[in-house]
Chain A
Amino acid sequence: MTPSSKPKKSSSGKSARAAELLPERELHRIVATVLRLARSTGAEETEVHVDEVADNLTRFANNGIHQNVAEQGLTVSVRTVVDGRTARATTNRIEEDSLRATIEASLALAHSQPKDPRVLPMLPKQRYRSVNRFVKQTAALTAEERARAVRLACDLAIKKGQVAAGIFASGQSQSAIGNSRGLFAAYRETHAEFSITMQEAAAASWAKANSADVRAFEPQKLAARASDKAHLAVNARELPPGRYTVILEPAAVLDLVGFLFYDFAATALEDKRSCLNDRMGTPLFGKNITIADDAYHPLQQGAPFDGEGLPRQRVLLVDRGIPRNLVYSRAAAKAARKTPTGHGFALPNEYGEAPMNLVFTGGDSSLEKMIASTGRGLLVTRLWYIREVDPYEKVMTGMTRDGLFLVENGRVTTAVRNFRFNQSLIEMLSNVELLGPAVRATGEEAFEMVVPAMKVHNFHFSEVTKF
């Protein structure tokens, strides 16, 4: 295979159109080429991953575009198995000489180690549930279209005496996996994202949306929401740190509970680094907390197969406050005498698996209802720089950011200076009073999940900052 066998870019260069992905038959051809080349190398089994991206991101600040980028790239990753040993080598050069060198590099790595009793035979052909997350309108979005939307958002900021910063991104990606036992799976998706921070004097607020379909959100509505909240955030008042009732918007919930995802990996429990060690099957959270991993949920994204090509299964992780199930890679399942759930990472790795499509069961309380029901509390737009302080009690620290508001007697009364929190997630999920409808949330600390807004009592703010 030669580099020129890659298809021509759709863009002539005269306009900033998005690049196109390879057709699926080309992914088949790359996989078949690697498997053919590997047959003469001594590899007993071979697995090939092909990943391709064509992404675009327009970035603005100070009411104008300052960065604007496009990226196109493809990688081929080869895992070989020989004599009970396995290793991986990756390249982005797809001519045959490079693919052959990559196979040989994988074999050399595999030979260098002791035998690994956990290495399993590769999977045979599998059947996959179909998911459709490729939206041609997203794939076709141009730099000019993103620039025009950004221009409108910046015009709003100028009109309001504010300063806008943010991104408008769009792109497409695809992944394929094939192996020498006949397995083949391919998946493609599109992604679009608009995020905006509006600054007014020393205050700021923020709004963000993310979807496979660029038509699922309206940048101008997000800009207007951030603008309105930035205006409300002016003249923030300092309150003493302490325990408060909080109303966490979905992005704030996401960025906190996102830190729980790896705790549900069977390997994390085996390694005794999960907060669920010695706690499975016993009440841990409030009865209103139910969590599943569901790659097929309509608000989720991602491939319907894992790093070994096993179909992903829906797994009920927490049922009414009680952790019930874990996710298992094939190796972890074998060690625990369980059934693998299709959540394994690409091999070899030391982390095993993780649920990547968390879905919380929501409630019926709108943000307005939560505010109306609160005598005194804080409305939290967004959290920032969250890190784990205590892995077993799952104490997280971080800051509020871009819009913290005091709620008194059922209404928002004033902006408040940002707090640092030190809060156990176990305690927090035991103190949830109200849940909003579950939505696809997007923040900056965790990957996107389906979570509700939450009203939580006794949330611990330990210190206050200067703005």
Chain B
Amino acid sequence: MWTWLLLALDTAQLRGASYGDVRVMHLRQRDLTTKNGQVGTLSQSESIGIGIRALANGAWGFASTDRLTKQGVAACAAQAVAIAKASALAKRADVVLAPEQAYVDSWQSPFRKDPFEIPLEKQLALLLAADDAMRRVKGVTLTETDMQFRKIDSWFASSIGSRIHQRKVISGCGIAATSFQGEEIQKRSYPNSFGGQHSLQGYELIESLDLLRNAPIIAEEAAALHSASQCPEKTGTLILGGSQLGLQIHESIGHPIELDRVLGQEANFAGTSFLTLDQLNKLKYASSIVNVVADARLDHGPGLGTFAYDDEGVPAQCTDIIKDGQFRGYLSNRETAHLVGLNRSSGTMRTESWNRLPIIRMTNVSLLPGAWDFDNLIADTPDGILMETNRSWSIDDRRYQFQFSTEIGWEIKGGKKVRMLKNPSYSGITTEFWNSCDAICKLDHWNLWGTPNCGKGQPMQTMGTGHGASPARFRNVRIGTAFSNQ
């Protein structure tokens, strides 16, 4: 494999590249779904190719191909350089890269059970059993389950001498029950919506989820939501479950801290950020109990943002994003680090595949655990609403104003969950919301949630990100806005 990478680097340099990096990636994926007791999707795929990034005349070019022949790779490298030279026709300034060492390394994400070695019959039998357990519940009109496994090998070489091989094994699984009654569709998902939980683990993730115990629970809830009271419209106290808080972090902290957004590079598509460069170390982003890190190291956990090196050959790091409520850091790459006074990239360049350019991406952007026991948090809340499991999410293109709705809510009165609420939603302004956080649950309730479907870049890339979170409480939040008709 290294032959192709070195040929690409040599060709790029011969053609005039002042810097080059190359990724060969081999991606394998298996998808299984069921619907209403029958197998839906049953497929597997593999893809292998090479992506070459070249810096020439002070500008970038990138080309990719699946033609892994001497001629195909050399032509692709030459094309990357030619594109870079075309870019220079309309460059703003020469690209300058922060210094980085060369690394020669090989790394594999830890897993106990290779999901590709587990018999398909066993995987399907589990999904069909969970599907069956949901369909047994009266009122359920649609049942869905899914499993997804990926094994990604990447070989990276750069013209500064790095040679890095990484292998990642990723697993994901989820189930959902939907109920249509009268003029209403209600849905419950486990362990999370939109495909469940995903992490850098093997089949042990699936076994840890206890699908068969949870299937009837969510099915009963989906049917019961029809007779639940509508979530009221008011300003009040909100407690978010861990998975919903993970998405709140993703949208209102993770995206605003991407330095390419801040610098306007995504202005036409994904948007910009309210976190302009003058806010660094000055903005009180959140209340003083809020601490957020971007941590790609394995020490943080087996998240979708965990790796040993990013796709620019920079080692995984932990960066303080919010420290005691103060805004402390961005996600950067080798090209942008100096703009925020750093002499080194924070290691967040990631690519979906061999045919995509690495771009700045979230790693594991996580809210660190607080001090509260969950039961004590509920007991300490005289009047509030607990919301769990995302149903919809939306935020403006500078990441100020957001609105989320969840699948289920629970009214809290006198320190107790007293009744189920349907159609819960809340909205707010990012910094006002995070400054209203007055309680975060402790490590026992903390989980590293996976968001497998984060879209960004043109051409679009889908990336997995990790978000550690435990339930937390927020005050004076606008509740019920999505269903307000005023």
Q: A55-B459, A66-B60, A350-B41 are in contact. Are A272 and B401 (CB under 8 A)?
A: no
* Total B residues in contact with A, Cβ cutoff 8 Å: 101
A247: chain B residues at CB < 8 Å are none
Distance in angstroms from A348 CB to nearest chain B CB is 6
Contact present for A350 and B35 (CB under 8 Å): yes
Query: A118 to B86, alpha carbons, bound, how many Å?
Result: 53
B87: chain A residues at CB < 8 Å are 58, 65, 68, 143, 147
CB contact list, A390-405 vs B, under 8 A: 390-393, 395, 397-399, 401-402
14 interchain pairs (CB within 8 A)?
A61-B263, A69-B62, A70-B64, A70-B79, A92-B49, A105-B44, A113-B124, A118-B38, A144-B86, A148-B89, A165-B265, A272-B141, A460-B485, A462-B481
8 smallest A-B Cβ distances: which pairs? Answer: A13-B78, A350-B40, A64-B92, A112-B120, A143-B86, A465-B401, A90-B45, A272-B180
A4: chain B residues at CB < 8 Å are 69, 71
Query: A105 to B441, alpha carbons, bound, how many Å?
Result: 46
A69: chain B residues at CB < 8 Å are 61-64, 83, 356-357, 459
A60: chain B residues at CB < 8 Å are 90
Which one, B266-274, B292-300, B313-321, is touching chain A?
A: B266-274
Contact present for B400 and A68 (CB under 8 Å): no
B458: chain A residues at CB < 8 Å are 57, 59, 67, 167, 169
B355: chain A residues at CB < 8 Å are 71, 73
CB contact list, A128-159 vs B, under 8 A: 142-144, 146-148, 150-151, 154
Distance in angstroms from B198 CB to nearest chain A CB is 19
Indicate the member of B48, B83, B184 with the most A CB atoms within 10 Å. Answer: B83
Q: What 1/0 mask marks residues of chain A from 81 to 120 whose CB sits below 8 Å from any chain B CB?
A: 0000011111111000000000001001110111010100
Whether a CB of chain A sits under 8 angstroms from the CB of B394 is: yes
Distance in angstroms from A398 CB to nearest chain B CB is 6
Contact present for B72 and A277 (CB under 8 Å): no
B33: chain A residues at CB < 8 Å are 350
B394: chain A residues at CB < 8 Å are 385-387, 397-399, 420
Indicate the member of A116, A273, A393 with the most B CB atoms within 10 Å. Answer: A273
Q: Which of B268, B274, B400 contacts A196 (CB 8 A)?
A: B268
Q: What 1/0 mask marks residues of chain B from 262 to 290 whose CB sits below 8 Å from any chain A CB?
A: 01111111010010000000000000000
Distance in angstroms from B467 CB to nearest chain A CB is 18
Q: What 1/0 mask marks residues of chain A from 427 to 467 whose CB sits below 8 Å from any chain B CB?
A: 00000000000000000100000000000000010111111
Contact present for A75 and B47 (CB under 8 Å): yes
Query: A53 to B208, alpha carbons, bound, how many Å?
Result: 40
* Total A residues in contact with B, Cβ cutoff 8 Å: 104
Contact present for B397 and A385 (CB under 8 Å): yes
Query: A393 to B59, alpha carbons, bound, how many Å?
Result: 50
B274: chain A residues at CB < 8 Å are 466
12 new A-B contacts, CB < 8 A, other than A87-B43, A272-B185, A273-B185, are A3-B67, A3-B68, A9-B72, A13-B82, A91-B47, A92-B49, A195-B268, A271-B178, A389-B392, A401-B397, A444-B269, A465-B400
Contact present for B268 and A387 (CB under 8 Å): no
Whether a CB of chain B sits under 8 angstroms from the CB of A184 is: no
B269: chain A residues at CB < 8 Å are 167, 195, 444
Indicate the member of B48, B119, B269, B396 with the most A CB atoms within 10 Å. Answer: B396
Q: Which of B45, B63, B78 contacts A91 (CB 8 A)?
A: B45
Whether a CB of chain A sits under 8 angstroms from the CB of B199 is: no
Distance in angstroms from A337 CB to nearest chain B CB is 19
Distance in angstroms from A338 CB to nearest chain B CB is 19
Query: A67 to B144, alpha carbons, bound, how many Å?
Result: 40
Q: Which of A165, A277, A466 contacts B400 (CB 8 A)?
A: A466
Q: A348-B42, A466-B400 are in contact. Are A70 and B63 (CB under 8 A)?
A: yes
Contact present for B401 and A61 (CB under 8 Å): no
Contact present for A387 and B45 (CB under 8 Å): no
CB contact list, B183-234 vs A, under 8 A: 183-185
B46: chain A residues at CB < 8 Å are 90-93
B65: chain A residues at CB < 8 Å are 9, 72-73
Nearest to B427 among chain A residues (CB) is A463
CB contact list, A225-267 vs B, under 8 A: 242
Indicate the member of A13, A61, A116 with the most B CB atoms within 10 Å. Answer: A13
Contact present for B41 and A348 (CB under 8 Å): yes
Query: A10 to B36, alpha carbons, bound, how many Å?
Result: 49
Query: A147 to B59, alpha carbons, bound, how many Å?
Result: 12
Whether a CB of chain A sits under 8 angstroms from the CB of B173 is: no
Indicate the member of B65, B266, B268 with the most A CB atoms within 10 Å. Answer: B268
Whether a CB of chain B sits under 8 angstroms from the CB of A357 is: no
Whether a CB of chain B sits under 8 angstroms from the CB of A8 is: yes
Distance in angstroms from A402 CB to nearest chain B CB is 8
Contact present for A72 and B401 (CB under 8 Å): no
Q: A242-B486, A273-B142 are in contact. Are A108 and B401 (CB under 8 A)?
A: no
Contact present for A16 and B142 (CB under 8 Å): no
Contact present for B124 and A112 (CB under 8 Å): yes
